[in-house]
């Protein structure tokens, strides 16, 4: 470990704010992942800029982590700095309402569930779809998260990001290139720090009922009783990944303690002391078998990080 590098990070963040050898299994919904060399939680965009500039200067790799809900971290961990955007970057500010549309500013570290609840509580509609997605806003914008017919692109106005050179930029909706599980943020390696949205006025009781119904559907259809990284594969055009996997006879297919869920085949779950190596093997097996049977290529929605 480079002690001078650690001291420089502590100069940015404060004493004792840099964790060394932090197990990433504690920070991912899959509950897997080895140690990161360094693990930090900045409290502001300015701190992120300083950290990015420091990492670039010292040629130390870094990775931006939110809630860890769409990621598989290798068993041997990550060589570099994990920058988690969460606590300290969770602001929610309600702005002016014009012609029934209310502007809402939110920090990248806020959970989608919390933002959806706050938006609904103000009688605003259009974010109900996000109430059960287990992630933070920054990650959701990066991948244009969506569910039950709604997507981030439906309600976002702009996003404030940090580019690879450590510069803060504001990108308008038209330039975000929001598509199915993709964006210019993902393509160009930007870091989301905050964003503004607009929502229409609605009836609180109807909005809350819709959220309750969507969350009930989620509980009924998804294997939420096991650790997972959410939906494992992207939806291939013209097909549903879960149905292809089920039709391939892979429900319950297992490698070690990693299994294709029998409740929803689009999910890969950790049913015990699963390893990232086994999870990656299972994902590769499923992709290969589905392609052999149906000539449809399944691409992982889950991101792979670190050393396996």
In whole angstroms, give the CA distance from residue 307 to residue 59.
Answer: 18
194 catalytic residue (yes or no): no
**Secondary structure letter of residue 153 according to DSSP:** G
Catalytic residue among 8, 90, 177, 301: 301
The answer to whether residues 10 and 17 touch, using CB atoms and an 8 Å cutoff, is: yes
Catalytic residue among 50, 111, 181, 196: 181
C-alpha closest to that of 295 among 233, 248, 254: 248
C-alpha closest to that of 110 among 19, 229, 196: 196
231 catalytic residue (yes or no): yes
Catalytic residue among 69, 183, 231, 261: 231
Question: Residue 205 burial by CB count (10 A; 0-12/13-18/19+): exposed, middle or buried?
Answer: exposed
Element (H, E) at 217: helix 204-221
**Cα dihedral sign for 159, 166, 68, 230?**
positive
44 catalytic residue (yes or no): no
The greatest distance separating any two alpha carbons of the chain, rounded to the nearest whole angstrom, comes to 56
Give CA 87 to chain center in angstroms.
Answer: 15
Catalytic residue annotation: 181, 231, 301
């Amino acid at each position: 470990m480079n002690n001078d590098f650690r001291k420089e990070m502590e100069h940015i963040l404060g004493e004792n704010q840099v964790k060394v050898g932090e197990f990433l299994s504690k920070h991912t919904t899959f509950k897997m992942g080895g140690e990161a060399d360094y693990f930090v939680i900045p409290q502001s965009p300015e701190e992120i800029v300083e950290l990015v500039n420091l990492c670039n200067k010292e040629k130390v790799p870094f990775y931006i982590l939110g809630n860890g809900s769409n990621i598989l971290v290798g068993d041997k961990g990550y060589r570099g700095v994990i920058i988690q955007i969460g606590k300290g970057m969770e602001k929610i500010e309600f702005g002016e309402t014009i012609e029934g549309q209310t502007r809402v500013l939110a920090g990248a570290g806020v959970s989608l569930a919390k933002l959806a609840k706050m938006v609904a509580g103000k009688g605003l509609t259009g974010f109900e779809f996000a109430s059960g997605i287990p992630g933070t806003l920054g990650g959701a914008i990066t991948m244009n998260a969506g569910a039950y017919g709604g997507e981030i692109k439906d309600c976002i106005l702009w996003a404030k990001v940090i580019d690879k050179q450590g510069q803060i930029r504001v990108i308008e909706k038209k330039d975000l290139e929001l598509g199915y599980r993709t964006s210019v943020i993902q393509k160009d390696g930007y870091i989301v720090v905050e964003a503004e949205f607009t929502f229409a006025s609605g009836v609180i009781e109807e909005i809350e009922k819709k959220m309750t119904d969507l969350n009930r559907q989620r509980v009924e259809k998804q294997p939420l009783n096991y650790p997972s990284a959410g939906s494992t594969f992207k939806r291939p055009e013209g097909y549903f990944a879960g149905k292809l996997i089920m039709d391939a006879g892979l429900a319950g297919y297992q490698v070690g303690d990693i299994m294709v869920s029998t409740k929803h085949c689009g999910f890969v779950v950790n049913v015990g002391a699963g390893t990232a190596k086994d999870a990656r093997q299972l994902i590769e097996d499923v992709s290969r078998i589905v392609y052999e049977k149906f000539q449809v290529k399944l691409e992982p929605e889950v991101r792979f990080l670190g050393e396996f």
